[in-house]
A = this chain, B = another copy of it.
Amino acid sequence: MIGRLNHVAIAVSDIEAAAAVYRNTLGAEVSDKVAQPDHGVSTVFINLPNTKIELLEPLGPDSPIAKFLEKNPSGGIHHLCYEVEDIRAARDKLVAEGARVLGDGEPKIGAHGKPVLFLHPKDFCGTLTELEEA
């Protein structure tokens, strides 16, 4: 069911500093910072030959990554995102298998403009797991 690893998301408190680490120290191709007010984050993408790292910085007072950064002040890996062909079919299969979908279970339009769902970390090896319809 799952296809490509679309991205690994890393939450950080200072996205310019994190982008500089990837650009200068690790020598990677790094995008500009983009505010995503609908998602409560700003994003920078690290474009690797086979996938992306998505840097996330809190935007606004109710950012969904604020609590994560309170617990992990140096930053840390926040979630993995896998591509699926049909997100509703994927969701129905997962729910039938007993996995928990976060929120109301309906796909939302994610930061890349495509339908996404998040799955409960405790059902997936302690890993917050996003599915994106590719």
A interface, size bucket: 35 or more
Q: Is A1 within 8 A of B18, CB to CB?
A: no
Q: Name A26-84 residues within 8 Å CB distance of B.
A: 26-28, 48-51, 53, 55, 72, 74-77, 80, 82
Contact of A127 among B77, B99, B123 (CB under 8 A): B77
Q: How many copies does the complex hold?
A: 2
Q: A5-B8, A97-B24 are in contact. Are A126 and B50 (CB under 8 A)?
A: no
Q: What distance in Å separates the Cβ of A19 from its nearest Cβ neighbour in chain B?
A: 10
Contacts of A8 in B (CB 8 A): 5, 8, 80
Q: What distance in Å separates the Cβ of A3 from its nearest Cβ neighbour in chain B?
A: 6
Q: What distance in Å separates the Cβ of A44 from its nearest Cβ neighbour in chain B?
A: 11
